Amino acid sequence: MSAPITITGRLAGDPELRFSASGIAMCIFTVVTSSRRKQDDGTFADVDTTFWDCVCWRVLAENLAECVKGDRVIVAGKAVQDEWTDKETGQKRRKVKVKADDVGVSLLFSPAKSQRMQRGGTVLDADPWAA
């Protein structure tokens, strides 16, 4: 079973683009979230820091691979639990990760310019409103 989730945070590292044997793109990335709290001495500290392991597929994966560590992103997807048996110990393991349906760059602290893509991955027009 999965639960819908939306995460806003920063990329903890550069996204890792891989391809399956059949050529399907997959991107593995980690998003770090935290809250800032004012301390008694007047300084601020990050609290409730959480690292979210995420994965996305196909065109989304290829587009996300252009992002870099530190970029602020918004991830919408499903929280799912992976289960496997540890080969060394034989114990059952579980891990929650996010299967991203959509990832966007946050515009809170920096501007962005989008490029519209048509099916097949070619750029239609960098700026459709330019004269």
Give me the residue spans of the domains in the chain.
Answer: 3-110
Exposure string (b/e) for 15-48, b if CB count within 10 Å is 16 or more? Answer: beeeeeeeeebbbbbbbbbeeeeeeeeeeeeeee
> pLDDT tens digits, residue range 51-62?
999 999 999 999
Copy the structure tokens of residue 21.
Answer: 């044997």
pLDDT at position 123, please? 52
CATH for the 3-110 domain, from 1.20.140.10, 2.40.50.140, 2.40.30.40, 2.160.10.10: 2.40.50.140
d(CA 112, CA 39): 33
Task: Give every residue of the chain whose pLDDT is below 50, as ranges.
Answer: none
pLDDT at 126: 54
| pLDDT tens digit sequence for 17-34 | 999 999 999 999 999 999
> Can you read off the two tokens belonging to residue 90?
């034989």
For residue 104, the model assigns a pLDDT of 92
